[in-house]
Structure 1
Amino acid sequence: MNQSAKRYSPLQVALIGGAIATTATMSVFGSAWTRSVRAALQDSPKTLVDQVWQVVNREYVDGSFNQQDWQATRQSLLSKNYSSNEEAYVAIREALQKLGDPYTRFMDPKQYEALTNQTSGEVSGIGIRMEVNEKTKRLTVVEPIENSPALKGGVKAGDEILAIDGKSTLNMKVDDASKLIRGKAGTPITLRLGRMGQNAFNVKLTRATIEIPTVSYNLKQEGNRRVGYIRLREFSAHASDQMRRAIRDLNGRRVDAFVLDLRGNPGGLLQSSIEIARMWIDDGGIVRTVDRRGGTEDSKANRTALTKLPLAVLVDGNSASASEILTGALKDNKRAVVIGGQTFGKALVQSVHELSDGSGLAVTIAHYYTPKGTDINHKGITPDIKLDLTEAQERQLATNPSLLGTKNDPQYARAIAVLSGNNFAQSPIILPTQPMSARANDLKF
């Protein structure tokens, strides 16, 4: 994937699982700093060290800091001399390990850039997915992204990328090619392509900011029933808009039921998961978060559901974080039948901060619970119909993704059987009567 950094101003973001989301903008510098400390640490790697300490001290969900003397940790960190930011990174990581929380972690600038790129839902480049073909060992276009410069410029799946701006791609890795292809929107780039049955040719393109599709969908005719199959790969910044378009389009095509595929979805923005839940649930709870002081925030549906048609949700062991928020809300509200494997089991919320040198910090700030108050941490969500794939079935679907959402996909086939057992003209929704309450507009995963 061709990506370039989407630069964020210093901000706080919250994270569940491996995905990120913005909350209210705030300075990363702690209010506890004194002027003398600021002056002493200015333009020093110690500035970075103390930024991290301050954020953890202010927000970490465990007020005992895993029974560590966090004040002593600060004194130890600031008593050392660091010749570079890299040395400070090592010290920061060692200090964070004492918390015993793998989700509270430090990210160097490249890692933080990758995380923000992942969840922005956008890339700046030409819009292609590429890989090194196993047979030819050549850099090959998997597909051009919809509405991208590559697609508009005539790039096709299967094209071999022979050179990028005159630089040969022979033995080039995908990551290295991505660095050459990505760049500022509006700048030119020339690819030399090889296509079966043609001589090599050049394609001149202009880079652009591209919305990455995280939602794919189609209408499937299953017997005499019309089923809308929607696959959501990640809860990015654009996922809710894409989901809304998918549901509305399928409604317009008069589907009888839906299958929502969340398998392999690692999570994403919390606000995106809340917005998507509201597209399926007209009333009822979605998620509750609890911080270290016992403060709670409830997110609820707001009578804006786009459909009440029968719904089946597919999950597996890699359905995590925001995927589990959505699944838990649909299950607890009896809005959908959940089919597949036990989900990942991650119920901790992290905030993510950009630091002064472009690095980042994720720190656990809260715990979340499903609408019924279930704690799924380290447990996951148990599907209504537990159906694990065999290793052979997993391999088959992994090597041939086109089989997903077909009758050669056992979990999808089971969903169709279950939906066919219901009256398609009736919705299986059993919605609890609950008063509307506070919005959930800040925390995101």
Structure 2
Amino acid sequence: MSDQYPEPGHSKTPTTRRIPWGGVSIATAIVLVCLLLTPTLVAQAVDGKTQSLLSLFQFIYLYVQNNYVDPVDPEKLIDGALKGLFESLEDPHSAYLAETDMRSLNDTTAGEFGGVGLYINKQTPPEGSKDTASFVEVVSPIEGTPAYRMGIQSGDLIVKIDGESTEKLSIDEVVKRLRGQPGTTVTVTIRRGPSLQFDVPLTRAVIQVPTVRYGMIPGGIGYIRIIQFTPYTDDKVQEAIESFRASGYKSLVIDLRMNPGGLLTSVIETADLFFDEGVIVSTRSRIPAENAVYEAKPGSLVPADIPIAVLIDGGSASASEIFAGVMKDRKRATLFGTKTYGKGSVQQVRSLGRTGFRLTTARYYTPSGVTIDKVGVSPDREVKEPTLSEKETEVYSKLISSRQIPAFVTQNPNPSEREIQQFVDRLRRDNPDLSDRILKRMIRNEINRHLPNPPVYDLEYDLVLQEAVKFLREGGKGR
């Protein structure tokens, strides 16, 4: 199993501080899992207490193996014990990886796999909450995948998979149930908000993870959406900026919404394009020798006088929070949207042949020394999409279940504005509590989900982007 990614370069001069973990991934625990390079293991002497506990384990293991009423598979016993060891850490990002889990991981690192296209995390109920269930939370859907096309959103909870509750399933068990042969179907039960719950049938497909999309917004504003930080992200961002430069760009929007993270090396190389010196991020672990500070190389691709707006939301996690954090800390950009997810830990995956494990070994810190883990990055200017009232939520749920909008788009893949308005008028007769704007955006999103190349941005309905563009057109001054 390879545990290194190809490292893309760019035109900046090399720095003396190299990145020692070539494949470290900081993506949230996800349906698509990244592979990472482990630092050197540090051998430690086993103290008397630990030796006593290991002897106790050996005694119990041998006793069970020799005395259980039926023959016991030794490998199954050890797998179960190791699984329990990692579960005792109460960290959803650390886990023992059995043979099937490692096979799934290897499939993922090959770049394609059969799945539904969701980044997920184990949701923990807030302290004092009456709802003690621990379901699976959607960090973000992957653009262009079955989950994205069916309208699953960041913050949704997956409460059932094919009728089975996810409350007691681990992340890896959920991954196994969601992945499978392309063309097969899995039904997830989604809980959205306090009361909306509905089933979504998903047809598995080969998942290819995109990285960057870009385009020009009228007024000389370059728009870059970073979908995930992969080994090729900084090359694609550089390509976008050079394209904007040829068009005479005056400002930039960098959209990190629903970006679940990716490779540490990738976000460092990408952020490096905007700075010519100084700290980008640091990592700290229990082992002082493994602490690291990552700094920008000399030379910046983007001139310092180009105003930048960065868009974030609750689906921006891990590597995208590093990018948002350095841009905010060093006052290189103004952040718009809502607070990020708050996943600021680094995992390693170590292969043990057919099995392996994933372990949290460090946390990362912004240039000002602030950790993002469980806290997130707050925007400079908070912009929220309108939320639905309780009555609107009820009607919205019924409309989703009716599948009227997908049926309309199937029959009218490229409807005119007049046809859309006529359909909206019909919908409003049965759903008077939903505004034209809500209905039109639902229709527009459904149309875009079926396009091979959907629009890069949406200035008509995207309120966060509208605010950022207004800010940049007014000169991009102030925070």
TM-score range, shorter-chain basis? Answer: 0.5 to 0.7
Aligned partners of 1:282, 1:340: CA distance in 2, in Å?
27
SS in 1 for 2:36: coil
1:104 aligns with 2:118: no
Partner of 1:341: 338
Q: 2:362 aligns with which of 341, 362, 366?
A: 366
Map 1:16-415; keep pairs closer than 5 Å.
16=26, 17-18=28-29, 20=34, 22-23=36-37, 74-75=54-55, 77-79=57-59, 80=61, 81=65, 83=73, 85-115=75-105, 118=108, 122-123=111-112, 131=146, 175-177=180-182, 213-221=210-218, 225-295=219-289, 296-308=291-303, 309-357=306-354, 359-391=355-387, 396=442, 399=446, 400=448, 402=454, 404-415=457-468
Distance change >3 Å, CA 25–CA 95, structure 1 → 2: closer
* TM-score (structure 1 length as normaliser): 0.60
- Contact 1:15 1:349 (8 Å CA) reproduced: yes
Q: Percent identity at matched positions?
A: 29
Q: Which amino acid is the alignment partner of residue 351 of structure 2?
A: E
Moved more, 11-20 or 381-390: 11-20
More contact order relative to length (CA 8 Å, sep ≥ 6): 1
- Contact 1:131 1:174 (8 Å CA) reproduced: no
RMSD of Structure 2 on Structure 1 (CA): 4.0
Distance change >3 Å, CA 130–CA 281, structure 1 → 2: closer
* TM-score (structure 2 length as normaliser): 0.56
Kindly state the Cα deviation for residue 331 of structure 1 after the two structures are TM-superposed.
0.7
- 5+ long unaligned stretches in structure 2: 6-20, 66-71, 115-142, 151-177, 185-206, 389-437
Aligned partners of 1:365, 1:132: CA distance in 2, in Å?
31
- Contact 2:312 2:336 (8 Å CA) reproduced: yes
SS in 1 for 2:465: helix
Kindly state the Cα deviation for residue 72 of structure 1 after the two structures are TM-superposed.
5.5
- Contact 1:324 1:381 (8 Å CA) reproduced: yes
Aligned partners of 1:14, 1:123: CA distance in 2, in Å?
19
SS in 2 for 1:372: coil
1:422 aligns with 2:475: yes
Distance change >3 Å, CA 130–CA 262, structure 1 → 2: closer
Aligned partners of 2:346, 2:330: CA distance in 1, in Å?
22
Aligned partners of 1:10, 1:239: CA distance in 2, in Å?
16
Q: Deviations 1:176-211 (Å, cap 9, x if unpaired)?
A: 2279xxxxxxxxxxxxxxxxxxxxxxxxxxxxxx98
Aligned partners of 1:328, 1:242: CA distance in 2, in Å?
21
Aligned partners of 1:271, 1:291: CA distance in 2, in Å?
17
Distance change >3 Å, CA 350–CA 9, structure 1 → 2: closer
Aligned partners of 1:117, 1:280: CA distance in 2, in Å?
34
Distance change >3 Å, CA 71–CA 250, structure 1 → 2: farther
Kindly state the Cα deviation for residue 378 of structure 1 after the two structures are TM-superposed.
1.0
Q: Which amino acid is the alignment partner of residue 94 of structure 2?
A: T
- Contact 2:230 2:263 (8 Å CA) reproduced: yes
- 5+ long unaligned stretches in structure 1: 1-6, 33-56, 136-172, 180-209, 430-445
Distance change >3 Å, CA 367–CA 385, structure 1 → 2: same
Distance change >3 Å, CA 255–CA 428, structure 1 → 2: farther
- Contact 2:4 2:37 (8 Å CA) reproduced: no
SS in 1 for 2:220: strand
- Aligned residue pairs total 312
- Contact 1:347 1:377 (8 Å CA) reproduced: yes
- Contact 1:277 1:286 (8 Å CA) reproduced: yes
Distance change >3 Å, CA 215–CA 176, structure 1 → 2: same
Q: Which amino acid is the alignment partner of residue 82 of structure 2?
A: I
Aligned partners of 2:82, 2:375: CA distance in 1, in Å?
30
Aligned partners of 2:100, 2:378: CA distance in 1, in Å?
36
Q: Which amino acid is the alignment partner of residue 176 of structure 1?
A: Q
Partner of 2:119: none
Aligned partners of 1:361, 1:85: CA distance in 2, in Å?
16
